[in-house]
């Protein structure tokens, strides 16, 4: 899964990126509201962690505008503004949770999981499609109980496909989720990973189909 961290304190942003990486969660970072808006409009995120004291615009204004434009990504406000009135304003502006600095990272992670659970997002650690299973905690993949040897990047792509099993996942979304915005990619990087996964699943008789939807993306489904 990929998060967007909107935080102008680069040291704190880097610390959050490192902490989430240890939990196999990738992050993009925006230091100003304008960059955050552009990333949300062009990317795909499981959730947004939003500081309010941004240099170009108040975070609440950004949040209200995103909600008015019908962007539905869960937003966790992370700010030094701890007064009760400020909390109310944040929640009324469309925040899904409101966390005051200083904070403990395990609490932030727990609250993120709680928000995603309410949203029906990335919380189940055991994914199943046909006879294919993926444990998101151990990163192990099995078909009928037998282990399938996949690289880290292949597991990440398979997780994206399994979480949206039966639905087409666009190539652009895959690139954003796996590599992040601005990452320099070869034009066929995604195709290469899809081909490898498809071949490995076919080799172990997985009861799944990984199909290419020409001009759009890919879909994983069970017969």
Residue 176 has what pLDDT? 74
Residue of higher predicted confidence among 7 and 23: 7
| Mean confidence (pLDDT) of the chain | 87
What six digits make up the tokens of 51?
A: 């500081």
**All structural domains of the chain:** 2-119 (3.40.50.2300), 126-221 (1.10.10.10)
pLDDT tens by residue, 131-162: 999 987 788 999 998 999 999 889 989 988 98
Measured distance CA(11)–CA(13) in Å, rounded: 5
Q: Closest Cα to residue 75, out of 33, 133, 135, 128?
A: 33
State pTM to two decimals: 0.65
Residue 115 has what pLDDT? 87
**91: confidence class by pLDDT, cuts 50, 70, 90:** confident
Residue of higher predicted confidence among 65 and 24: 65
Mean pLDDT of 50-63: 93
Contact 8, 50 (CB under 8 A): no
Residue 62 phi, psi dihedral angles, 5° rounding? -60, -45
pLDDT tens by residue, 30-49: 999 999 999 988 877 889 99
Measured distance CA(198)–CA(167) in Å, rounded: 17
Residue 200 has what pLDDT? 95
Residue 102 has what pLDDT? 87
Contact 1, 177 (CB under 8 A): yes
Residue 131 has what pLDDT? 94
């Amino acid at each position: 899964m990929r998060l967007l961290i909107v935080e102008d304190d680069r040291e704190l942003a880097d610390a959050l990126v490192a902490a989430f990486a240890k939990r196999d969660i990738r992050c993009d970072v925006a230091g100003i509201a304008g960059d955050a808006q552009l990333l949300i409009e062009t990317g795909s995120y499981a959730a947004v962690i939003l500081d309010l004291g941004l240099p170009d615009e108040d975070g609440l204004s950004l949040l209200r505008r995103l909600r008015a434009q019908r962007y539905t990504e869960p937003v966790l406000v992370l700010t030094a503004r701890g007064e009760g009135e400020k909390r109310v304003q944040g929640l009324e502006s469309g925040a899904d949770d409101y966390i005051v600095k200083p904070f403990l990272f395990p609490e932030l992670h727990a609250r993120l999981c709680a928000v995603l659970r309410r949203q029906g997002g990335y919380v189940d650690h055991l994914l199943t499609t046909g006879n294919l299973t993926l444990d998101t905690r151990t990163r192990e993949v099995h078909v009928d109980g037998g282990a399938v040897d996949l690289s880290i990047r292949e597991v990440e792509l398979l997780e994206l496909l399994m979480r949206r099993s039966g639905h087409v996942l666009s190539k652009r979304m895959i690139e954003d989720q796996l590599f992040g915005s601005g990452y320099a990619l070869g034009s066929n990087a995604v195709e290469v990973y899809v081909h490898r996964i498809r071949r490995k699943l076919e080799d172990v008789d997985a009861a799944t189909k990984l199909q290419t939807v020409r001009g759009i993306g890919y879909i994983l489904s069970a017969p």
